[in-house]
Each structure stands twice: as C-alpha cells, then as structure tokens.
C-alpha cells in the first residue's frame, strides 16, 4: 500500500498539472467525457468548484511540489467570493474542501476567516419549521427539498463551532442530522435521495429521487454521502446514535448482493440493468474515505472489515480499469463516474469529486493504517 499510495500521488501531481493547463484562469474543471472527447469547466458557484483546489492541497501535502501549491493558491483566489453565496447548500464542498484544507496545511488566518464566513452564510438556509438546511430553492418540482448529500456540508458547521466556541453552527448541524436520520432512512438503512417538506407545517410532503433509478432505489453516491456524513457527525459530537447508524449503513453497502467483487458500486444498487450498466467510481471513493474514518471509532473486528473493504476499493481504483494513464482524460485521475444518469448528465466521465475523495482516502490510509 505504501508503494501504491506513492504511485497514485506522483500520478496525481502529473495529471493535475495537465488539468491546470487545460482550465482557464477564471473557472474550475468539472468533467471530461472520453466518448465525446470533451472537457467541461464550471463557474465558481457550481457545487463542485472546491474539489479541484482541495485536491491540489492534498497533492501538495504529500509531494511538497511547489508548482502544485502555487496552482492551489491561485485557484483559491477565484473561489473566495463563494463564502457569501446563498444560492444553495453546498458551501461545505466549495469552501471547506478548498480553504479548509488550505488552513489545515498552512495555518494561515486568512483561510480560517474565509471558512468561518462561509459557515455564517450557510446557516441562512436553515429552516426552523423542518429543523433542516434547505438544499435547493423551491421550484415546480419541489417545495422545500432536502437531499442526503447535504450531510456532507455539516462538517463546515461543526468545525466552525469548535474553532469559535460558538455553538449555533453545531446545533444546526445536529438538528439537520437528527431530521435526516428520522426522515431519509428506510428500514433496511438505505437512504432516499430527496425529502420534500412543507415549510408551513414542517411535515414531509413526499420522498423522491433526482439522480437515482427510482424513488425507492438506493442511489449509490447518495448512500456514500450518508455514510460519510454520519461518520463525520460522530467525530464532532460523539453521539453514539450517529456511530451506530453509520455502521448500519456500512453493513447495507458492504453486504449488498449487487455490490461487485471489486467493490466499485453500480450507479444505483437497484438499477434494473445490473450487471450491464455503469459503475460509479465517485461512490466508491467517498465510501472508502468514510470507511477508513469509521474504522477509527469501531472495535477491532469491525475496524478490520472496514479497512479491508477500503483497501480493496483503493486497489481497484488504482488499476487501469478505473485510473487514467499519464496524460489521459484531460488530466483527471479517475474515470467511469456517473453524475445524473436519469438526465443523461455526466455519464461515464471523469469528475473532480471522485479524484478528491480518492486522494483523501489515500492520505487517510497512509496516516491512520499504513504504519499501525
């Protein structure tokens, strides 16, 4: 694993220099489609905009490559304004993954202040009547939608509370987590993607999917988001209920009959075309990173299971089946991701967040498991 981790970070440094060259200075990379040979960028307010600079910081942390650091700093400059963005709930992805890592690695106060400003902005989307943070604005399709992905943005709030000793951010995060546990999860410990609320009564209107196979299916990336979210909430609160729920989610995922032997999930665990359908590498990357942290809080036998599964995922992702060759895919590291198949959006492409959580998982394995 030590050799595999080193190999991946050396490849990542090479690839991300290519990705930086391919990305104009005022936007962020979003995806690359090999079937269309098309590289797509995003504006800085797109929900994935923080993953490119965040990945650069992980690469710099491992390699100490000054060119990578310079690119990371340059990209922070164009995304900083997002700390005041109230258009959706994804400030954790956009600011914590980028500026949060920058502060963790460098200790610069300016980075910390940016993250704290983002936390204050995010809580403006908290809705007391439903005890949750509203994900998307109301539309013809949804009144007040909350998606399971939103669990990921709670890290920003909990961190802000711990840094400032101001409890309001963590109180909102706990509120949101408790509501998610109550309304998003089924008896088999799989999660709905979207829960729509009535803001006046606070009651659930309906439970739907936006990116999964069906309303009642287990959309793969959503399951990974949920697992990661409950693990991080246990980290910050030590609430036993959150840890137990994370373990239940992991059991659902790791023992699912439709999980392939290489542990790279299909885009939805209930997709009717299985096995003749797409894998979602991003779901695997997120799951691996979450399992590695979950192992820290588990007993010896559970830790062994989680670490073994995460190791298998990382090994699978490091094969030519899922990983780019040097110079391929416009500079992205991983391939075979699915964004939103029902909309034919970002199907079988490279994506920034798959790379980000892959690098994070590699760092976690090195720091927490490699020399233990």
Give me 74's structure tokens. Answer: 């340059």
Question: Does residue 149 have an active-site annotation?
Answer: yes
pTM of the model: 0.98
Provide the pairing of β-strand 337-340 with 204-208.
unpaired
Question: Does residue 188 have an active-site annotation?
Answer: no
> For 14, what's the count of Cα atoms within 13 Å in the CB-facing half-sphere?
13
The torsion angles phi and psi of 221, rounded to 5 degrees, stand at -65, -35
- Choosing from 26, 65, 88, 149, which is the catalytic residue? 149
- Choosing from 90, 175, 268, 280, which is the catalytic residue? 90
Task: State residue 372's pLDDT score.
Answer: 73
What are the CB-based long-range contacts (under 8 Å, 24+) for 79-84? 79/28, 79/44, 79/49, 79/50, 79/53, 80/114, 81/44, 82/44, 82/45, 82/49, 82/50, 82/118, 83/114, 83/115, 83/117, 83/118, 83/121, 84/117, 84/121
CA distance 77 to 274: 43
Number of domains, the chain: 1
Task: State residue 256's pLDDT score.
Answer: 98
Task: State residue 164's pLDDT score.
Answer: 97
- Report the run of H or E that residue 68 belongs to, with start and end: helix 66-79
What is the radius of gyration, based on Cα positions, of the chain?
A: 19
Q: What range defines the domain where residue 238 resides?
A: 2-368
Averaged pLDDT in 10-residue chunks for the chain of 372 residues: 98 98 98 98 98 98 98 98 96 98 98 98 98 96 97 98 98 98 98 98 97 98 98 98 98 98 98 98 99 97 98 98 98 98 98 99 97 78
Task: State residue 24's pLDDT score.
Answer: 98
CATH number of the domain enclosing 27 = 1.50.10.10
Give me 214's structure tokens. Answer: 């069906």
């Amino acid at each position: 694993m030590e050799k595999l981790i080193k190999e991946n970070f050396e490849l990542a440094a090479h690839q991300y220099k290519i990705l930086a060259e391919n990305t104009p200075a005022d936007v962020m990379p979003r995806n690359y489609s090999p079937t269309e040979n098309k590289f797509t960028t995003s504006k800085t307010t797109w929900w994935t905009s923080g993953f490119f600079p965040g990945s650069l910081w992980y690469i710099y942390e491992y390699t100490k490559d000054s060119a990578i650091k310079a690119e990371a700093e340059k990209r922070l400059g164009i995304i900083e304004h997002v700390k005041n963005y109230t258009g959706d709930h994804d400030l954790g992805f956009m600011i914590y993954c980028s500026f949060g890592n920058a502060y963790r690695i460098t200790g610069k106060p300016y980075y910390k202040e940016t993250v704290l400003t983002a936390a204050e902005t995010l809580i403006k989307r908290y809705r007391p009547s439903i005890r949750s943070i509203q994900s998307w604005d109301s539309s013809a399709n949804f009144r007040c939608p909350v998606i399971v992905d939103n669990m990921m943005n709670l890290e920003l709030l909990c961190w802000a509370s711990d840094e400032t000793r101001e409890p309001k951010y963590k109180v909102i995060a706990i509120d949101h987590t408790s509501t998610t546990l109550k309304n998003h999860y089924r008896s088999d410990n799989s999660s709905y993607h979207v829960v729509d609320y009535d803001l006046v009564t606070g009651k659930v209107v309906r439970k739907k999917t936006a990116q999964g196979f069906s309303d009642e299916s287990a959309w793969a990336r959503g399951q990974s988001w949920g697992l990661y979210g409950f693990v991080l909430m246990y980290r910050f609160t030590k609430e036993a209920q959150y840890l137990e729920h994370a373990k239940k989610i992991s059991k659902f995922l790791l023992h699912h009959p439709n999980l392939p032997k290489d542990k790279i999930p299909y885009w939805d665990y209930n997709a009717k075309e299985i096995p003749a359908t797409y894998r979602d590498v991003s779901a695997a990357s997120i799951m691996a990173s979450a399992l590695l942290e979950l192992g820290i809080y588990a007993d010896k036998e559970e830790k062994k299971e989680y670490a073994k599964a995460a190791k298998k995922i990382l090994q699978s992702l490091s094969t030519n089946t899922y990983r780019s060759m040097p110079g391929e895919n416009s500079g992205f590291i991983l391939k075979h991701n699915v964004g939103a198949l029902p909309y034919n959006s970002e199907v079988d492409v490279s994506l920034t967040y798959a790379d980000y959580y892959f690098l994070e998982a590699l760092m976690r394995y090195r720091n927490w498991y490699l020399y233990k």
